[in-house]
């Protein structure tokens, strides 16, 4: 479903306009462009909060085999029955946290970003949560919580930093609610904040360590993990 652009808050209009600019969206993934890998999609869902825009995330369950406890966008690998990658992102968000696809207006897509560690090409679908309803973890084996974080918190200079993964990956990070948002999620989030004009200056020389709990992978017997993009 869609709604008139005139009914959207004014702060959303620059983001919608930027997503329609091929040059601007290409710059978001310029450091890790898609290479024709396995298709996946995530949903970057923006809502109106009491003090302006907010963004929905999922906290991955602590029992998952990889990237346990990390903050990410809802999403996963494309299924053969999906119409397109928008369908993938909306399906995954509904399955993971109960976002009803009819409540979302798709504003645009970012070009695929490649995740070398998994071979996925991940497309971020940016949506406006027009009719916001209660959401939560649909399957506790996959999702521990569903934080919806104000953009004012995400852009707080005191919460911004850079990280360096042992593999050599470097990128932006956000310290939020006792978690570190990093990797692909932080890369895409940083790009969306740029497109929307919501960034605030921050100390790009500040570097923080990736918590050890985010860097461990372990087998979980008899529990296949849902297909989806890796966190970095």
For 102-142, what is each residue's pLDDT tens digit? Answer: 999 999 999 999 998 889 999 999 999 999 998 999 988 88
The residues, ordered by sequence, that sit 6+ positions from 3 with a Cβ below 8 Å of its Cβ are: 105, 130
Asked if 125 and 43 touch (Cβ cutoff 8 Å), the reply is: yes
Residue 53, C-beta contacts closer than 8 angstroms, at least 6 positions apart: 9, 11, 12, 46, 47, 150, 151, 196, 198
Is the model's pLDDT at 45 over the cut of 70?
Answer: yes
Q: Give residue 4's pLDDT.
A: 58
What's the pLDDT at 227?
Answer: 37
Q: What is the pTM of this model?
A: 0.90
Distances from the Cα of 129 to the Cαs of 44, 98, 174, 222, in angstroms? 10, 13, 22, 36
pLDDT of 221 higher than 60 = no
Domains of the chain: 11-149 (3.90.79.10)
Is the distance from CB of 120 to CB of 36 less than 8 angstroms? no
């Amino acid at each position: 479903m869609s709604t008139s652009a005139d009914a959207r808050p004014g702060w959303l209009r620059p983001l919608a306009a930027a997503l329609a600019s091929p040059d601007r969206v290409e710059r978001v993934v310029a450091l890790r462009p898609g290479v024709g890998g396995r298709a996946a999609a995530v949903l970057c869902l923006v809502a109106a909060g009491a003090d302006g825009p907010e963004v929905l995330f999922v906290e991955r369950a602590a029992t998952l085999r990889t990237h346990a406890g990390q903050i990410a966008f809802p999403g996963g690998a494309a299924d053969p029955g999906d119409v397109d990658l928008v369908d993938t992102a909306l399906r995954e968000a509904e399955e993971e946290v109960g976002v009803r696809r009819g409540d979302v207006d798709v504003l645009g897509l970012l070009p695929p970003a490649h995740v070398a560690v998994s071979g996925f090409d991940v497309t971020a679908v940016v949506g406006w949560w027009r009719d916001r309803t209660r959401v939560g973890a649909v399957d506790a084996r996959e999702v521990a919580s569903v934080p919806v974080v104000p953009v004012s918190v995400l852009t707080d200079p005191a919460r911004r930093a850079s990280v360096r993964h042992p593999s050599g990956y470097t990128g932006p990070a956000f310290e939020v609610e006792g978690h570190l948002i990093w990797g692909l999620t932080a890369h895409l989030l940083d790009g969306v904040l740029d497109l929307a004009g919501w960034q605030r200056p921050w100390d790009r020389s500040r570097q923080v360590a990736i918590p050890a709990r985010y860097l461990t992978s372990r087998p979980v017997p008899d529990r296949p993990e849902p297909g989806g993009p890796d966190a970095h």
